[in-house]
């Protein structure tokens, strides 16, 4: 069933959108939130086989007990501080009770009325340079659930599946859930604000080094709440909560879509159902999930297996002193350091590639070279495939690729072929060069032989060159490059052609 | 001849048996075999055990070999111990008395079990209990009731009736129990044995299948106060796997018990009699024994004062909100997905299977409390029920604080009556709940409590005394408990447990 959509501008004319976001951040600690089991969100444990990163608590075995991960608490406090929040003098964990097979204890240990961090704000910068402040309600600690794979249904969802597989590796991964206050006044910028906000959280998390923050891997997950109210109305409209938006582009599109969908319903005299909605990247639409009401009864009560958490003021101040610079200041510093023009820098920021370029520079590439890769060839391929640039290739590999170019082992053209190989999963650049045999031919005698052969087969061209028509050399260079299967440095070939022609 | 010696070994107190093991007069294999024989002899009648450890003799032999090799062993090494089935044990099923965990063998040991093993004690097996420790009679076990060795027609108390009966029937010198609202002290009272609920946080709960996390505490069940102290010394102390476990240095409880017993009097000890636990609902013969005990204490130099704890009136009500609330959440994990029973039919959804499994796997009392607890935590009722109950908890703590201003220890009957008959209260949950009135306040306040014998009722069945001390002052209970035990033993010509009638099996 296809939703009716109202034109975006018309929707904004008639209704005011109110936004709210819940962003879950998986912390990259070595062990889980409440046990010593390895954490799959830590780089060392990414590729673990299902149900191998488990212990009695991850499986909810009888008699198992939680113990708070002190590292996760430090990460959470740092994140709270970076969000401009107050850090609680004392806070408690609570049990959120609900039955679901991915939740091994059939309750989630979370925080309810006493979050570790509250009352903050995040500054974001829009494409045109305007700054917007997003108010933060709270950031609280909790544990992730396991992962269900539904088998046998057409949709991959639980409805209609024959059976489901459960992987408890993710059960107990430390999470911080960041909840905004209602965001008013977003107006036409609502989709962009949504994207920029999630990007800002991602940048903060990366700068703190507390998570890899890869949306496609679920390190960072956004639930986008959207409601509309008719112009002039005080009361908030009914909201929907869109889940499964796992890229920045999706966040932007999902918010736009919900505004258009809800506007069409309201304009036709309908009512919005309070529910979770599922974002579909392929169709660019949301579909209804389960109904959700404020009366959902999770029977919260204080977790009796854990003591209240009272972070010492000394710890909070120590962590505050170690905070990295704010993203806006960080951007300004990078722009100056890299010497980019306004246009070049905007290009990087708007393409959401700042952290990628930065990581590539950190890995050894010159800033301009890094910029050209990401905003050029990689952006083109990402666009072509309709995916995020970050999901195509690792910054380290881009830096390695550029190093090969810098040392003359690859031409730009060859480097693009190597990039394709890296994206195709053939390994690191050096491995692709090796496997595909793409190295530049630097053997002078081979080049000279090829040039001599080309000149001999095109005597008319040779004559023109000797007559001083140097531009005629192009035809010979082309023939040599072809003979070398493109693996030669064209500039060097040209030199040799001119030299041999007059000899 | 060998039969006779086996019989003798089971009659010894735990510390006496341990002394023979240390001196080499008795091997762990002999001691273990004697108790296995006793179990084979009487447990058909008593049904204290759900599982007997097939590896017990092998473990005993290993201890004997280590001793023979000259290794320095713990003072209790080689002595047998029975483990309540609520505790996780590698290699032995751990069912908590429930059908839903039938045959489940944990991949890890509870911390207390690991500590016993580390000290070289030999596990005889797992003892019966009310399902998930919900009950006061062991009749709610999915595997049939345990019977009181003093009278097989009567209940052994609960939930730890199996551990108490095992110790009372000389099937084990030592046992472990767990006490959420009296599950160690009340069975001790009605079987003429000693049971100790430590200060909350004094003993690790890791690997104890949770009933109500904020109330549960693991503790020893034995025939003498010193034996409880010895076990407490082994299992107690901080455990990093239990966040509610206290980080503090505890004194030697065995030393306190030995000092208390050798001193022989209670001079200068201020003993408070809790007015509210000595009147309503307490049987006349229990009251009579209690008054006699108070006189014994006075004669021994104790300064007896009456104290009042008015909030105790609300303790049962508060307890039966907090316990079911926490239990409803703790028991949610029994859903057939990862372990335990699974009841399923083709084509059913996971919700169907969860519901069917819980329908079949849980007994009536468990379902009753899950429903109660789910209701008490529901939105709109939380403040009125769970919230109010937590306030009562605070009031009870204040009552205790005030009482302990006037007294070093408090005393009361440990149970309102002697052991009642099987089935007598099974259909009347409220009557069963009220049975815990004397023991519940200690759990709500987190303070330590001990149950020990104070004589026989008019029906010739054991009557128990309860001692209470302030938070962290477990030592006081061992010191005073051992002194009272010694004073009473003088009157009786031995500890009460040895006065139990011979079981039919034993006469054979």
Rg (CA), chain B: 21
Residue B505 included in any domain: no
Percent with pLDDT over 70 in chain A: 98
* Side-chain half-sphere exposure of A316, counting CA atoms within 13 A: 16
Question: Where are any strands of DSSP class E within B9-99?
Answer: 49-52, 80-84
- Least confidently predicted of A124-133, A255-264, B313-322: A124-133
- Least confidently predicted of A350-359, A397-406, A435-444: A435-444
Instruction: List A242's β-bridge partners, or say none.
Output: A224, A277
Output the CA–CA distances (angstroms, integers) from residue B128 to A267, B43, B67, B131, B145, in the order listed.
67, 11, 32, 9, 8
Q: Which residues of chain A neighbour B94 with C-beta distances below 8 Å?
A: 62-63
Contacts of residues A209-212 at CB distance under 8 Å and 24 or more positions apart, as own/partner, are A210/A25, A210/A27, A210/A28, A210/A75, A210/A78, A210/A79, A211/A25, A211/A26, A211/A27, A211/A28, A211/A41, A212/A28, A212/A41, A212/A43
- Order of all β-strands in the sheet with A174-180: A86-87, A117-125, A131-143, A174-180, A15-26, A220-230, A240-245, A275-280, A285-291
Residue A285 included in any domain: yes
The label of the residue with tokens 């394709």 reads A420
Residues B318 and B274 placed together within one structural domain of the fold: no
Residues A281 and A336 placed together within one structural domain of the fold: no
Closest residue of A to B378, CA-based? A299
**Which tokens go with A443?**
């053997």
Closest residue of A to B338, CA-based? A59
Residue B393 included in any domain: no
Inform me whether the pLDDT recorded for A154 exceeds 80.
no
CA distance B325 to chain A (A): 9
Catalytic member of B6, B27, B28, B84 = B84
**Which tokens go with B328?**
């409803």
Please give the pLDDT value at position A295. Answer: 54
Task: Decide if B338 and A104 are in contact by the 8 Å CB cutoff.
Answer: yes
Residues B318 and B298 placed together within one structural domain of the fold: no
Selection from A54, A36, A63, A55 nearest residue B111 by Cα: A63
Percent with pLDDT over 90 in chain B: 90
Catalytic member of B6, B183, B204, B245 = B183
DSSP per residue, B411-469: EEESSSSSPPBTTTTTT-HHHHHHTTTTTHHHHHHT--EEEEEEEE-TTS-EEEEEEE-
* Residue B159 bears catalytic tag: yes
Closest residue of B to A296, CA-based? B379
Is A218 within 8 Å of chain B by CB? no
Average pLDDT over residues B137-147: 98
DSSP per residue, B80-104: EEEEETTB--TTS---TT-GGGTT-
Q: Which residues of chain B neighbour A62 with C-beta distances below 8 Å?
A: 88, 94, 96, 101, 104, 106, 209-210, 333-334, 339
Inform me whether the pLDDT recorded for A293 exceeds 70.
no
Cα separation, B224 vs B321, whole angstroms? 34
Selection from B171, B163, B154, B151 nearest residue B195 by Cα: B163
The answer to whether the CB of A72 falls within 8 A of the CB of A33 is yes
Last residue of a domain, one of A436, A463, A491: A436
Inform me whether the pLDDT recorded for B249 exceeds 90.
yes
Mutate to test the interface with B, among A299, A306, A307 (most CBs of B within 10 A): A299
- Residue A40 burial (CB < 10 Å; 0-12/13-18/19+)? buried
- Residue B434 burial (CB < 10 Å; 0-12/13-18/19+)? middle
* Residue B262 bears catalytic tag: no
Q: What CATH number is given to the structural domain containing B450?
A: 3.90.1300.10
Mutate to test the interface with A, among B204, B350, B373, B385 (most CBs of A within 10 A): B350
Cα separation, A168 vs A100, whole angstroms? 13
Closest residue of B to A99, CA-based? B332
Task: Decide if A62 and B240 are in contact by the 8 Å CB cutoff.
Answer: no
Please report, to the nearest 10 degrees, the dihedral formed by the alpha carbons of residues A99, A104, A105, A108 taken in order: -80
Instruction: Provide residues of B within 8 Å CB-CB of chain A.
Output: 87-88, 94, 96, 101, 104, 106-108, 110, 205-210, 212-214, 240-244, 325-326, 328-329, 332-335, 337-339, 350-351, 354, 374, 377-379, 382, 386
The answer to whether the CB of A287 falls within 8 A of the CB of A280 is yes
Rg (CA), chain A: 28
The answer to whether the CB of A101 falls within 8 A of the CB of A164 is yes
Is A159 within 8 Å of chain B by CB? no
Residues A195 and A249 placed together within one structural domain of the fold: yes
**Which tokens go with B51?**
């599982």
Residues B88 and B53 placed together within one structural domain of the fold: yes
Selection from B170, B177, B192 nearest residue B130 by Cα: B177
Please give the pLDDT value at position B504. Answer: 67
Give the tens place of pLDDT for each residue, B157-187.
Answer: 999 999 999 999 999 999 999 999 999 999 9
Give the tens place of pLDDT for each residue, B430-459.
Answer: 877 888 889 999 999 999 999 999 999 999
Last residue of a domain, one of A436, A452, A470: A436
Q: What angle separates helix A327-338 from helix A190-208, to the nearest 10 degrees?
A: 80
Cα separation, B506 vs B508, whole angstroms? 5
DSSP per residue, A457-497: H-HHHHHHHHTT-GGGHHHHHHHHHHHTTT-S-HHHHHHHH
Last residue of a domain, one of B387, B412, B439: B387
Cα separation, B332 vs A97, whole angstroms? 8
Residues B301 and B317 placed together within one structural domain of the fold: no
Average pLDDT over residues B127-145: 97
Q: What is the pLDDT of chain B when averaged over all its residues?
A: 95
Give the tens place of pLDDT for each residue, A437-480.
Answer: 777 777 778 888 888 888 888 888 888 888 888 788 888 888 88
Average pLDDT over residues A161-185: 95
What value, to the nearest 5°, has the Cα angle with vertex B261 and ends B256 and B264? 125
| Closest CB to A65 among B206, B214, B333 | B206
Give the tens place of pLDDT for each residue, B86-106.
Answer: 999 999 999 999 999 999 999
Average pLDDT over residues A55-79: 98
* Residue B329 bears catalytic tag: no
Task: Decide if B377 and A107 are in contact by the 8 Å CB cutoff.
Answer: no
Catalytic member of B137, B159, B245, B336 = B159
Give the tens place of pLDDT for each residue, B32-71.
Answer: 999 999 999 999 999 999 999 999 999 999 999 999 999 9
Give the tens place of pLDDT for each residue, B328-382.
Answer: 999 999 999 999 999 998 888 889 999 999 999 999 999 999 999 999 999 889 9
Residues A271 and A355 placed together within one structural domain of the fold: no
pLDDT band at residue B505 using 50, 70 and 90 as cut-offs: low
The answer to whether the CB of A222 falls within 8 A of the CB of A21 is yes
Residues A431 and A486 placed together within one structural domain of the fold: no
Please give the pLDDT value at position B270. Answer: 98
Task: Decide if B335 and A301 are in contact by the 8 Å CB cutoff.
Answer: no
Give the domain range for residue A476. Answer: 444-502
pLDDT band at residue B3 using 50, 70 and 90 as cut-offs: very low
Residues B406 and B366 placed together within one structural domain of the fold: no
Residues B24 and B144 placed together within one structural domain of the fold: yes
Q: Which residues of chain B neighbour A95 with C-beta distances below 8 Å?
A: 329
pLDDT band at residue B149 using 50, 70 and 90 as cut-offs: very high
With a CB cutoff of 8 Å and minimum separation 6, the contacts of A299 are A95, A97, B328, B329, B374, B377, B378, B379, B382
Residue B224 included in any domain: yes
Residues A370 and A281 placed together within one structural domain of the fold: no
Residues B317 and B298 placed together within one structural domain of the fold: no
Inform me whether the pLDDT recorded for B2 exceeds 50.
no
Q: What CATH number is given to the structural domain containing A483?
A: 1.10.10.410
Residue A3 included in any domain: no
Residues B36 and B102 placed together within one structural domain of the fold: yes
Closest residue of A to B385, CA-based? A301
Output the CA–CA distances (angstroms, integers) from residue B131 to A196, A422, B124, B282, B372, in the order listed.
55, 60, 21, 27, 16
Residues A150 and A175 placed together within one structural domain of the fold: yes
Inform me whether the pLDDT recorded for A6 exceeds 60.
yes
Please give the pLDDT value at position B70. Answer: 96
CA distance A290 to chain B (A): 16
Give the tens place of pLDDT for each residue, B301-311.
Answer: 999 999 999 99
Please give the pLDDT value at position A281. Answer: 87
Residue B392 included in any domain: no
Inform me whether the pLDDT recorded for B399 exceeds 80.
yes
CA distance A393 to chain B (A): 38
Residue B507 included in any domain: no
Is A164 within 8 Å of chain B by CB? yes
Q: Which residues of chain B neighbour A106 with C-beta distances below 8 Å?
A: 332-333, 335
Q: How many domains does chain B have?
A: 2
Q: Encode B171-187: b = buried (16+ Cβ within 10 Å), e = exposed.
A: bbbbbbbbbbbbbbbbb
Give the tens place of pLDDT for each residue, B251-263.
Answer: 999 999 999 999 9
Task: Tell me, rounded to whole angstroms, the distance of Cα B447 from its chain centroid.
Answer: 15
Residues B367 and B495 placed together within one structural domain of the fold: no
Inform me whether the pLDDT recorded for B4 exceeds 60.
no
Output the CA–CA distances (angstroms, integers) from residue B172 to A97, B20, B34, B52, B228, in the order listed.
40, 16, 10, 12, 13
Q: Which residues of chain B neighbour A59 with C-beta distances below 8 Å?
A: 338-339
Last residue of a domain, one of B342, B363, B387: B387
Q: Parallel, antiparallel, or unpaired: how do β-strands A275-280 and A285-291 relate? A: antiparallel
Average pLDDT over residues A118-134: 92
| Closest CB to A60 among B205, B213, B333 | B333
Residues B52 and B188 placed together within one structural domain of the fold: yes
Residues A141 and A245 placed together within one structural domain of the fold: yes
- Residue A379 burial (CB < 10 Å; 0-12/13-18/19+)? middle
pLDDT band at residue B507 using 50, 70 and 90 as cut-offs: very low
Q: What angle separates helix B111-118 from helix B225-235, to the nearest 10 degrees?
A: 100
Give the tens place of pLDDT for each residue, A400-434.
Answer: 999 988 888 888 888 898 999 999 989 999 898 88
The answer to whether the CB of B97 falls within 8 A of the CB of B54 is no
Residues A422 and A341 placed together within one structural domain of the fold: yes
Residues B124 and B271 placed together within one structural domain of the fold: yes
Residue B394 included in any domain: no
Closest residue of A to B377, CA-based? A299
Inform me whether the pLDDT recorded for B390 exceeds 50.
yes
Residues A267 and A353 placed together within one structural domain of the fold: no
> H/E element holding A16?
strand A15-26
Q: Which residues of chain A neighbour B207 with C-beta distances below 8 Å?
A: 63-64
Residue B131 included in any domain: yes
- Tell me B278's DSSP state: S
Selection from A213, A198, A288 nearest residue A250 by Cα: A198
Residues B480 and B418 placed together within one structural domain of the fold: yes
Q: What is the pLDDT of chain A when averaged over all its residues?
A: 91
Q: How many domains does chain A have?
A: 3
Residue A216 included in any domain: yes
Residues A52 and A93 placed together within one structural domain of the fold: yes
Please give the pLDDT value at position B508. Answer: 35
Task: Decide if A106 and B382 are in contact by the 8 Å CB cutoff.
Answer: no
Residues A486 and A427 placed together within one structural domain of the fold: no
Give the domain range for residue B481. Answer: 2-310+399-500
Residue A1 included in any domain: no
Is A50 within 8 Å of chain B by CB? no
Output the CA–CA distances (angstroms, integers) from residue B430 to A26, A493, B471, in the order listed.
47, 99, 29
Last residue of a domain, one of A274, A294, A317: A317
Residues A302 and A162 placed together within one structural domain of the fold: yes
Q: Could you check whether the bond before residue B159 is cis, i.e. omega within 30 degrees of 0?
A: yes
Tally A–B CB contacts below 8 A.
104
Percent with pLDDT over 90 in chain A: 67
With a CB cutoff of 8 Å and minimum separation 6, the contacts of A390 are A214, A216, A356
């Amino acid at each position: 069933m296809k939703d009716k959509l109202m034109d975006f501008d018309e929707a904004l004319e008639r209704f005011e959108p109110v936004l709210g976001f819940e962003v879950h951040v998986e912390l990259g600690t070595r062990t889980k939130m409440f046990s010593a089991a390895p954490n799959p969100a830590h780089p060392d444990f990414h590729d673990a086989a299902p149900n191998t990163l488990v212990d009695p608590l991850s499986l909810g075995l009888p008699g198992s007990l939680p113990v708070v991960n002190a590292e996760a608490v430090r990460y959470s406090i740092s994140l709270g501080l970076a969000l401009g929040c107050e850090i609680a003098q004392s806070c408690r964990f609570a049990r959120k009770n609900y039955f679901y097979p991915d939740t091994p204890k059939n309750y989630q240990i979370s925080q309810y009325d006493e979050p570790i961090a509250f009352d903050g704000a995040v500054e974001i910068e829009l494409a045109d340079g305007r700054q917007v402040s997003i108010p933060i309600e709270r950031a609280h600690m909790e544990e992730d659930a396991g992962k269900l794979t539904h088998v046998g249904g057409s949709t991959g969802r639980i409805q209609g599946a024959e059976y489901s597989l459960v992987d408890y590796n993710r059960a107990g991964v430390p999470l911080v859930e960041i909840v905004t206050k209602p965001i008013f006044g977003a107006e036409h910028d609502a989709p962009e604000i949504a994207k920029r906000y999630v990007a800002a959280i991602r940048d903060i998390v990366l700068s703190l080094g507390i998570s890899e923050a890869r949306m496609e891997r679920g390190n960072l997950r956004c639930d986008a709440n959207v409601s509309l109210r008719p112009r002039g109305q005080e009361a908030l409209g009914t909201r929907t909560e869109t889940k499964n938006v796992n890229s920045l582009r999706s966040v932007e599109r999902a918010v736009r879509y919900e505004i258009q969908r809800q506007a069409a319903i309201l304009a036709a005299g309908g009512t919005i159902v309070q529910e979770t909605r599922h974002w579909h990247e392929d169709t660019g639409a949301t579909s209804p999930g389960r109904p959700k009401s404020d009366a959902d009864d999770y029977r919260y009560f204080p977790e009796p297996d854990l003591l209240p958490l009272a972070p010492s003021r000394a710890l909070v101040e120590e962590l505050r002193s170690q905070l990295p610079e704010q993203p806006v200041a960080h951007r300004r510093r990078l722009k100056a350091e890299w010497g980019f023009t306004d246009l070049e820098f905007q290009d990087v920021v708007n393409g959401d590639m700042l952290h990628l370029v930065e990581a590539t520079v950190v890995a050894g590439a010159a800033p301009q070279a890094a910029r050209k890769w990401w905003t050029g060839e990689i952006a083109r391929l990402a666009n072509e495939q309709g995916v995020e640039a970050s999901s195509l290739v690792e910054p380290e590999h881009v830096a390695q690729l550029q190093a090969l170019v810098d040392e003359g082992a690859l031409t730009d053209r060859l480097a693009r072929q190597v990039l394709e190989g890296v994206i195709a999963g053939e390994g690191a650049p050096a491995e692709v060069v090796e496997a595909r045999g793409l190295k530049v031919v630097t053997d002078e005698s081979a080049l000279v032989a090829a040039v001599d052969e080309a000149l001999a087969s095109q005597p008319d061209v040779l004559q023109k060159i000797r007559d001083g028509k140097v531009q005629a050399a192009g035809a010979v260079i082309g023939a040599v490059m072809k003979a070398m299967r493109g693996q030669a440095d064209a500039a060097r070939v040209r030199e040799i052609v001119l030299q041999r022609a007059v000899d | 001849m060998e039969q006779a010696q086996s019989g003798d070994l089971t009659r010894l107190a735990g510390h006496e048996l341990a002394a023979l093991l240390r001196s080499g007069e008795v091997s762990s294999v002999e001691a273990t075999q004697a108790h296995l024989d006793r179990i084979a002899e009487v447990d058909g009648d008593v049904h204290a055990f759900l599982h007997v450890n097939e590896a017990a003799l092998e473990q005993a032999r290993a201890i004997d070999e280590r001793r023979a090799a000259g290794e320095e062993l713990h003072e209790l090494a080689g002595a047998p111990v029975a483990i309540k089935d609520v505790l996780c044990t590698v290699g032995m099923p751990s069912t908590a008395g429930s059908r839903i965990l039938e045959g489940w063998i944990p991949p890890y040991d509870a911390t207390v079990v690991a500590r016993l093993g580390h000290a070289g004690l030999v596990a005889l097996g797992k003892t019966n209990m009310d399902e998930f420790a919900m009950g006061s009679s062991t009749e709610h076990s999915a595997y049939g009731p345990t019977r009181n060795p003093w009278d097989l027609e009567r209940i052994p108390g609960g939930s730890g009736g199996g551990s108490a009966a095992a110790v009372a029937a000389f099937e084990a010198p030592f046992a472990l129990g767990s006490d959420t609202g009296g599950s160690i002290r009340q069975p001790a009272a009605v079987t003429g044995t000693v049971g100790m609920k430590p200060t909350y946080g004094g003993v690790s709960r890791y690997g104890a299948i949770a009933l109500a996390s904020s109330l549960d505490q693991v503790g020893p069940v034995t025939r003498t106060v010193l034996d409880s102290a010895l076990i407490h010394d082994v299992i107690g102390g901080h455990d990093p796997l239990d966040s509610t476990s206290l980080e503090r240095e505890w004194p030697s409880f065995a030393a306190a018990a030995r000092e208390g017993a050798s001193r022989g009097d209670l001079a200068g000890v201020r003993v408070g009699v809790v007015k509210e636990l000595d009147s309503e609902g307490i049987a006349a013969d229990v009251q009579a024994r209690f008054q006699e005990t108070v006189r014994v204490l006075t004669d021994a130099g104790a300064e007896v004062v009456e104290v009042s704890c008015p909030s105790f009136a609300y303790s049962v009500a508060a307890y039966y909100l907090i316990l079911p609330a926490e239990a409803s959440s703790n028991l949610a994990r029994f859903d057939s997905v990862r372990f335990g029973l699974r009841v399923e039919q083709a084509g059913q959804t996971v919700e169907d299977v969860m519901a069917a499994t819980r329908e079949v796997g849980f007994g009536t009392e468990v379902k009753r409390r899950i429903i109660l607890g789910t209701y008490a935590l529901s939105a709109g009722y939380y403040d009125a029920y769970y919230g109010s109950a937590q306030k009562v908890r605070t009031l009870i703590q204040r009552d205790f604080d005030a009482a302990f201003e006037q007294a070093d220890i408090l005393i009361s009957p440990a149970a309102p009556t002697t052991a009642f008959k099987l089935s007598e209260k099974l259909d009347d949950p409220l009557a069963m709940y009220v049975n815990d009135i004397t023991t519940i306040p200690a759990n709500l306040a987190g303070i330590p409590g001990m149950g020990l014998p104070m004589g026989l009722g008019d029906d010739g069945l054991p009557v128990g005394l309860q001692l209470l001390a302030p938070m962290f002052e477990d030592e006081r209970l061992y010191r005073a408990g051992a002194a009272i035990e010694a004073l009473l033993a003088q009157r009786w010509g031995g500890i009460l447990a040895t006065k139990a009638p011979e079981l039919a099996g034993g006469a054979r």
